Structure formats: C-alpha cells, structure tokens
Structure 1
Amino acid sequence: MRMRPKKNRDKRMDAVKDWFIQQDENGVAMIDSSYDNNNELFLEIGCGKGAFITGLSKQYPENRLLAVELVPDVLMMAMEKAERENASNVRFLHANAENIADIIPEGSVSRLYLNFSDPWPKKRNAKRRLTSPLFLERYKKILAKDGKIIFKTDNKGLFDYSLESFAENGFAVSEVCFDLHSDPVFSVDNIKTEYENNFSAKGFLINRLVAQVREEK
C-alpha cells in the first residue's frame, strides 16, 4: 500500500533540509565536508521513519551516520525524528539503492546496515533483493577494508537466500542468529526498527547475520 502524500510536504522538507548530506556536481556524497570529524562512516540503506538510525546515533555519537531512503515522505519523517532527537551526527540521502555505488565514495563505509528489506518473494524479482549478487557487488565497492554488512529480517526465505548469496559471492558470514531477541549476546545492543517491533509482536522471529568480504589468499 502506498503512503498518502503528507500535508505541507514542501514546507516540512524545507525545515529539515540541513539534514541532507551534501553532494557534488556528479551526485557523489561529500562525506568529508558533511560531518564534524573523520571517524568511521556507518550507512543504513532503507531507513524507514528513522528509529534505527537515531538509536544508532545514541550508541555511536562520535561516528558519522548516513541513512538512505527512497520514499520522500518516509525520508522526511526520518529527518524530523533526527531533528527532534538532536541526532547531530546523522545525515540523510534520497536515493535508490541501485545507484549506491555511484553515490557513496569507494571504500568509505565501515558498516552497512540492511534492516527488514523488501523480500521480493517472487523468483522473477530476485535480482531486486538487497542481498542479491548485483547488490553485493555494489557494496564491495563502497565498503572499507574489513567493513561489515549487518543484515536483519523477519523473512526466513529471504534470510536463507541471503546466507547463500553472501557465501557464493565472496563474503564470509558470521554471527548468524535465527532468533535475535532471545539471543543473550546479540540482543544486548540491538536497536529495534519500526518493522521489527511490529513483526516481533506478531510472533515472527528476527534473523540476523554479519558479512565481510573474504580476503583472497
């Protein structure tokens, strides 16, 4: 279901325009000039209404955080949330994940978060999944050396697909968890997204993994 356009969108967008990351004439995110420091950059693709990225800001106030969202009204609400919570180390980008390797500087991302991405369950749409081989190749370009992808989903089919996709496309997978909220280790610092709260309340188990590009021997 599509979201209804928000009232006063232009006015509200203008009020939070300073939260957008700066981009150069080629559309590349100007990471270094958009933050107050040069600390590690954490990227979330598909930030929703901003619960995760603002929570991450509290856990990592010294890091540079960037959230990408495709839907304008959802992005607007995320930026409004960041402003309300004074998440000053967060910036936002309106973009399609398909273009991420053209927008984010090569080798700049220390952590990439994929939270509750669209599972695209039909086989003909598999290439649109954010853990498909096409996307994994894009991530390889933007990840820093030893950079990590942290992936969460309630969709077991997508999780199984992703485990295989990572393994077959040059990634080492670790910290695999099939019931995150019951795990005594990985649940401690977990930041729940809007979707995560909804799915968990309905009895869905939350799956999680960490992936890193395998070192060539």
Structure 2
Amino acid sequence: MRLRNKPWASEKLSEYPQYVVAEPQEQKGKWNEEFGNNHPIHIEVGTGKGQFVTEMARANPDVNYIGIELYESVIVTALDRLIEAELPNVKLLNVDARDLKEYFADEEVGRVYLNFSDPWPKNRHEKRRLTFESFLKLYEDILIKGGEIHFKTDNQGLFEYSLKSFSWYGLHLKFLSLDLHKSDFEGNIMTEYEEKFSAKGQRIYRVEAQYQNK
C-alpha cells in the first residue's frame, strides 16, 4: 500500500495531546491514571484510520481503547475521527508494535485487536506478521490472565497461518468464523477495509484466541 506523504501530520498530532500520547513510555503501568478511571484497557495494533477503535469506544464507554499505528500519515486520519467524536476513552500511539513492552506493563492490557493486518505473504517476511510467535509473546506479556486476541482479516492465507500460529503457541481458539457477515455474531464493528471488502462480496474471517498458560 502506497502511503500519501502528509508533511503536516507530525505537527497536527502534537497539537492534540488529549488524544495522541507523545511519550507513551512514561505511562507504562499507569494507563488507568492517564484515562482517569479503572476501566479495562483494550488495544488495537494497526489501528489504521481509526474507524474501528472510535466506534468501539463509542459503543463501550466503560472500556478504555488505545489505537496503535506506525504511520503518521495514517494515524492523523484517526485523530480527525476522534476530534469529531470527542470521546474520552480513546488514546492514540504513533509507535512501532514491536516495542509494546516499552509502553505497557505486564498484565496491564485486557484485550488485543488485530484487524486486517498486513499479510506479508512472502515467506522471508514471516516475522513481520502480527500473528508471528514473537508478537504472540509480546501480547502474552502485557495481557491479563486469560487475555484474548480478537483477529479479523479478509486474507484466507493469513487467517490459516494465524490459526496455526495461535494453536502452536497454545492459545484456545473460540468463536471462529469463516464468513463473519453470514454468521450469527452480534455487535460487529467494521473497519474501513472490512466495509470495502465485504461490499465486494469477499469473506471476512474472524477468531478469538485466548491465552491459557497464566
């Protein structure tokens, strides 16, 4: 995916500290203080343009959401959504997901969402997939006991790979759907990609994977 350069994005992100946390490492272990409550903390890794995290926060005011996105030119659109929505239970981090342990303490996060992650289809790029074992270890460390990953994709190859990765790591798979929009799952919040792909008749795959070894 080619990203449009937005040289003004960095400055805009810095203008809204109520939504974009500039020094997230300083909040490690203190995210409930940042939000000003003791609600569960759920993170979306690869939040993109922010539709999912914004609508989840709107639908669940008793949960704190943190959207994590590497690219400034993308996360600035998520910021625009938050400015319009004026939701108090969302924060954005413009950081690399490989550094999650720098920003979250052990067992500080209640749930991880992975939505339409880059499939990195070439074998030599396997370690970049957000469901590769090194990422699963990162999530395990920051998640509470019995914490879950909720994963959605339109990419069958990535879904099959992820199911194997989850299983090999020892996660319990539940609520698995090979065609989400034709299932009886209720309360689905769609991402921008999901709306686009489902409108074309493409299948959406979904699974919830729960850690068992804590």
- The TM tier, using the shorter chain, reads over 0.9
1:191 alignment partner, one of 189, 192, 199 = 189
Shift of 1:170: 1.9
Corresponding position of 2:135? 135
Does the CA-based 8 Å contact 1:21-1:31 persist in structure 2? Answer: no
Deviations 1:14-73 (A, max 9, x none): 332321236466674741321020111111001111100011011211211111000012
SS at match of 2:107: coil
Q: CA RMSD in A?
A: 1.8
Q: What whole-Å deviation, never above 9, does each CA across 1:81-125 have from its counterpart, x for those lacking one? A: 111011210011111111112221110111110000000001111
- Which residue matches 1:16? 16
Residue identity over aligned pairs, in percent, reads 38
1 CA distance for matches of 2:115 and 2:123?
Answer: 21
Cα distance change of structure 1 residues 26 and 209 upon mapping to structure 2, 3 Å threshold: same
- Structure 1: segments with no counterpart, 5+ residues: none
Q: 1:103 maps to what in 2?
A: 103
For 1:147-173, what per-residue CA distance to the aligned partner results, in whole angstroms no more than 9, with x for missing partners?
111000000000001111001012111
CA contact (8 A) 2:14 2:20 kept: no
Alignment of 1:1-217 (within 5 A): 1-6=1-6, 8-21=8-21, 23=23, 28=28, 30-184=30-184, 186=185, 188-215=186-213
- CA gap of 1:22–1:6, structure 2 versus 1, over 3 A, is closer
Partner Cα distance (2:22, 2:106) in 1? 16
TM-score by length of 1: 0.92
TM-score using structure 2 length: 0.93
What is the rounded CA distance, in whole Å, between the counterparts of 1:215 and 1:141 in structure 2?
A: 11
**Structure 2: gaps (5+ residues):** none
Give the number of equivalent residue pairs.
Answer: 214
SS in 2 for 1:19: coil
